[in-house]
Amino acid sequence: MTERVIKIILPKASKDLAFEQLKAMDNIHYWLEEASAMNTVISVLTVYRKTEAIMDTFERKFGKEKGFKLIVFPVEASIPRPVEKETEKEKPSEREKARISREELFNDIVGSTDTSMVYIIFVILSTIVAAIGLLRDNVAVIIGAMVIAPFLGPNVALALSATLGDNTLRNNALKAMIAGFLIVIALSVSMGYFFEVDPSIPEIASRTQAGLSDILLALASGAAGVLAFTTGAPAVVIGVMVAVALLPPLTAFGLLIGSEEYTLATGAFLLFLTNIICINIAGVATFLLQGVSPRTWWEAKKAKKATRKTMAIWFITLGFLVVVILLWS
């Protein structure tokens, strides 16, 4: 879905100014959808990477006018096929911005921070499946658990909140993550208590210590998770990458705690913490590289401070954990 239809609702008096704004833009098609005595509806067809620029332009010009509304719809297909032409009017940064708009991105992510009953059920089911897979040393079952695990959204939301300086999104993402992790720990500890846990099982033993390869895996997972959202790509497969870095080590931690293998459990928990930090570092960095930022300069200034603070905390914590891991091994 490389195209978007934008519906712009404006007061009738703003129609001419709106068409002047659209006339100055390239690679778009626009038309008057309908008009009434009070309002005008204008439709715009454009490629997805130009959506943010159009939305920002109209919000700046008409955002304070009563009745202004802008709605974006993805296009499944169109004939003829879209052919985008580069023009001299476009800045290089605009030609290179191959991502969905800021508002689409936020709308896709914000729903994943809801600690609903569905979210809780997915966490419970994924934990049970992951624990069984670890106990049976069955890689296929563990992969199945990672497909179910809903940890991609909250982690991407946390990275986005740092990039945009959005405290509400940050708090909701933290609530969802903490709730999910506590459920995983409580359930896996219970299973470790009632089931026999053999720490020598390869799938468990491999998650009791962290190494450079695990850090690289977590960094790649975080970057891939963000790219899945910003490009509008299916996030299911990418979600497996994030889950592989979080769900199995946390489940292994709980199983080992339940079976009173505290030393090995500490190693699994250190791996989990290292992974979650690396995922968020990579996530924030990827958002920044893709030019995701607030629209207004004062919001951007606030977000810049929040991003610096967040990255500093993540890097300091990661450095401390790396030292602990080196001393632990």
Span 197-235, pLDDT tens digits: 999 999 999 888 877 788 888 888 888 878 877 876 655
Whether 72 and 141 map to the same domain: the answer is no
**pLDDT beyond 80 at 93:** no
Poorest-pLDDT segment among 43-47, 95-99, 137-141, 302-306: 95-99
What is the number of structural domains in the chain? Answer: 2
Whether 53 and 163 map to the same domain: the answer is no
In a domain, 217, yes or no: yes
Q: How far apart are CA 118 and CA 48, in angstroms?
A: 31
Whether 118 and 234 map to the same domain: the answer is yes
Q: How far apart are CA 272 and CA 148, in angstroms?
A: 18
**pLDDT beyond 90 at 327:** no
Q: Dig out the tokens for 245 from the structure.
A: 């870095």
Looking at residue 170, which CATH number applies to its domain?
Answer: 1.20.1080
Q: Which domain range does residue 227 map to?
A: 102-328
In a domain, 84, yes or no: no
Whether 122 and 34 map to the same domain: the answer is no
pLDDT of amino acid 315: 93
Whether 68 and 153 map to the same domain: the answer is no
In a domain, 93, yes or no: no
Whether 30 and 134 map to the same domain: the answer is no
In a domain, 132, yes or no: yes
Whether 36 and 113 map to the same domain: the answer is no
Query: Which 3 state secondary structure label does DSSP give 153?
Result: helix
pLDDT digits (tens, 9 = 90+) for 100-118: 888 888 888 888 888 899 9
In a domain, 315, yes or no: yes
Looking at residue 11, which CATH number applies to its domain?
Answer: 3.30.70.120
pLDDT digits (tens, 9 = 90+) for 227-281: 877 876 655 556 666 666 788 999 999 999 999 999 999 999 998 998 899 889 9
pLDDT of amino acid 306: 87
Whether 251 and 304 map to the same domain: the answer is yes
Total-model pTM: 0.80
Question: If you average pLDDT over every residue of the chain, what do you get?
Answer: 86
pLDDT of amino acid 97: 58
Q: Dig out the tokens for 5 from the structure.
A: 């239809």
In a domain, 95, yes or no: no
In a domain, 94, yes or no: no
Q: How far apart are CA 250 and CA 174, in angstroms?
A: 17
Whether 257 and 300 map to the same domain: the answer is yes
CA atoms within 13 A on the CB side of 12: 6
**pLDDT beyond 90 at 19:** yes
pLDDT digits (tens, 9 = 90+) for 157-167: 999 999 998 99
pLDDT digits (tens, 9 = 90+) for 41-52: 999 998 888 888
Mean pLDDT in residue range 21-26: 89
186 confidence band (pLDDT: 50, 70, 90): very high
* Residues shown for the chain: 329
Query: Which 3 state secondary structure label does DSSP give 256?
Result: helix
Whether 280 and 159 map to the same domain: the answer is yes
**pLDDT beyond 60 at 291:** yes
pLDDT of amino acid 173: 94
Whether 116 and 235 map to the same domain: the answer is yes
% of residues, the chain, pLDDT over 70 = 90
Whether 43 and 135 map to the same domain: the answer is no
Q: Are 222 and 158 in contact (CB under 8 A)?
A: no
% of residues, the chain, pLDDT over 90 = 42
Q: How far apart are CA 298 and CA 102, in angstroms?
A: 16
CA terminus-to-terminus distance, the chain:
48
pLDDT of amino acid 129: 94
Q: Are 293 and 303 in contact (CB under 8 A)?
A: yes
In a domain, 238, yes or no: yes
Question: CA angle, 89 as apex, 16 and 72 as ends, to 5°?
Answer: 55
Mean pLDDT in residue range 76-97: 61
pLDDT of amino acid 33: 87
pLDDT of amino acid 213: 80
